[in-house]
């Protein structure tokens, strides 16, 4: 007997990826529903590459009773209304928005990092999926933290426009085309031109000068990995369609060499180490798009601090940063608690 799974926000970038990954990983489903806003009702989305088309149902009228799992890929406003309704109906919500991430009664899960935390899901029947840039970073940090105890992390991100949804991808395409043909460039989704540019600003500014995206990386890393780890982040939007990159500097309590780190990362779940000290011996966003792994390259010792390492981390933000992690949470939930399929 399999699960009944609802994908909420099925017509968006992440929702479509969720459907694709459910199919690719052969998640044990008896039934899957594509749920979306009223403007998408009646349109069809494909269940991965299976050829099976799903007609979108209206979120406003969808009855979650009898459904086992709902993967939410809608904004916080809609989630705030409908996630509690789904949870109250007995359907476990796995939410990709930021709404519940820091709720003390909602586990924030990356299965390779803190699987045991999922046991607290019954408090609200909701499980939170972390921010895309946090998810890939903690996967890379976990084996190193277990080995040598991380004190401090300084990370600079290079985040693709798909993190801002379809509108972000469209804007990069349209601006690039406009530049080539000599048309004027007008920023709409982003605060400045994104084509052939970088923007050191993601989400809203806070009173201390950091942005909310940077704040998310700090507090989510503490909740998932270890509350004692200090994190400082600078988050930057770059003209890449899919794939987030991160330059990560790590300071440890205990000594760890680059060779030891490479050996640990090579064997760690969810990580692919590609680290050759030669031209092209590293991974870029173009190569990671469409892949499940979190790629780590350029592992080296930091001579400016005691017990320091520096590394490069790349992942498909629509997959490990969102849809894949959500499906992995569903798989973990099934193994540990629901036990169907």
pLDDT tens track for 49-60: 999 999 999 999
Positions in the chain whose pLDDT score sits under 50:
none
CA distances to 111, 123, 225, 321 from 135, in Å: 10, 23, 10, 6
pLDDT of residue 26: 96
Q: How many CB atoms lie within 10 A of CB 202?
A: 22
Angle between helices 165-181 and 13-24 (to 10 degrees): 110
Please check if 177 is assigned to a binding site. Answer: no
Is 132 among the catalytic positions?
yes
Residues sharing a CB contact under 8 Å with residue 309, sequence separation 6 or more, in sequence order: 144, 249, 250, 252, 256, 258, 261, 299, 300, 301, 302
- Are 220 and 101 in contact, with CB atoms under 8 Å apart? yes
Please check if 25 is assigned to a binding site. Answer: no
Selecting among 91, 235, 244, 313, the annotated active-site residue is 244
Q: 């009773």: which residue's tokens?
A: 65
Please check if 35 is assigned to a binding site. Answer: no
pLDDT of residue 340: 85
pLDDT of residue 162: 96
Tell me the three state secondary structure of residue 90. coil
pLDDT of residue 39: 87
Q: How many CB atoms lie within 10 A of CB 327?
A: 27
Selecting among 132, 235, 288, 313, the annotated active-site residue is 132
Tell me the three state secondary structure of residue 162. helix
**Burial, 126: exposed, middle or buried (Cβ in 10 Å; 0-12, 13-18, 19+)?**
buried
Element (H, E) at 84: helix 76-88
The neighbouring-strand residues paired with 199 are 237
The neighbouring-strand residues paired with 157 are 235, 246
pLDDT of residue 1: 79
Is 91 among the catalytic positions?
no
- Are 216 and 97 in contact, with CB atoms under 8 Å apart? no
Rounded Cα distance, 35 and 73, in Å: 10
The neighbouring-strand residues paired with 300 are 310
């Amino acid at each position: 007997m399999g699960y009944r799974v609802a994908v909420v926000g099925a017509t968006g970038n992440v929702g479509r990826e969720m459907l694709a990954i459910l199919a690719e990983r052969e998640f044990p489903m008896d039934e899957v529903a594509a749920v979306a806003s009223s403007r998408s009702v009646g349109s069809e989305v494909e269940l991965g590459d299976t050829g099976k088309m799903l007609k979108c149902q209206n979120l406003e009228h969808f009855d979650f009773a009898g459904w086992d799992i709902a993967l939410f890929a809608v904004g916080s406003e809609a989630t705030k209304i409908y996630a509690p309704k789904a949870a109250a109906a007995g359907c476990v919500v796995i939410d990709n928005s930021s709404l519940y991430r820091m709720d003390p009664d909602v586990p924030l899960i990356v299965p390779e990092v803190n699987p045991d935390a999922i046991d607290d899901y019954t408090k609200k029947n909701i499980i939170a999926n972390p921010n895309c840039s946090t998810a890939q970073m903690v996967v890379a940090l976990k084996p190193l933290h277990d080995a040598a105890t991380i004190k401090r992390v300084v990370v600079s991100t290079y985040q693709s426009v798909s993190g801002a949804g379809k509108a972000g991808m469209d804007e990069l395409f349209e601006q690039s085309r406009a530049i080539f043909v000599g048309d004027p460039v007008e920023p709409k989704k982003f605060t400045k031109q994104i084509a052939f540019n970088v923007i050191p600003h993601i989400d809203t500014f806070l009173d201390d000068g950091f942005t909310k995206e940077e704040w998310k990386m700090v507090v989510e890393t503490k909740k998932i990995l270890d509350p004692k780890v200090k994190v400082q982040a600078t988050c930057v939007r770059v003209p890449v369609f899919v794939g987030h990159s991160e330059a990560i500097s790590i300071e440890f309590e205990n000594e760890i060499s680059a060779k030891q780190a490479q050996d640990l990362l090579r064997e760690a779940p969810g990580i692919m180490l590609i680290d050759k000290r030669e031209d092209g011996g590293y991974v870029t966003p173009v190569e990671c798009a469409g892949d499940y792994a979190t790629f780590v390259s350029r592992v080296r010792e930091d001579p400016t601090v005691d017990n320091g390492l520096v590394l490069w981390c790349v992942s498909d933000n629509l997959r490990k940063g969102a849809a894949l992690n959500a499906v992995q949470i569903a798989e973990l939930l099934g193994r540990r608690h629901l036990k169907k399929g």
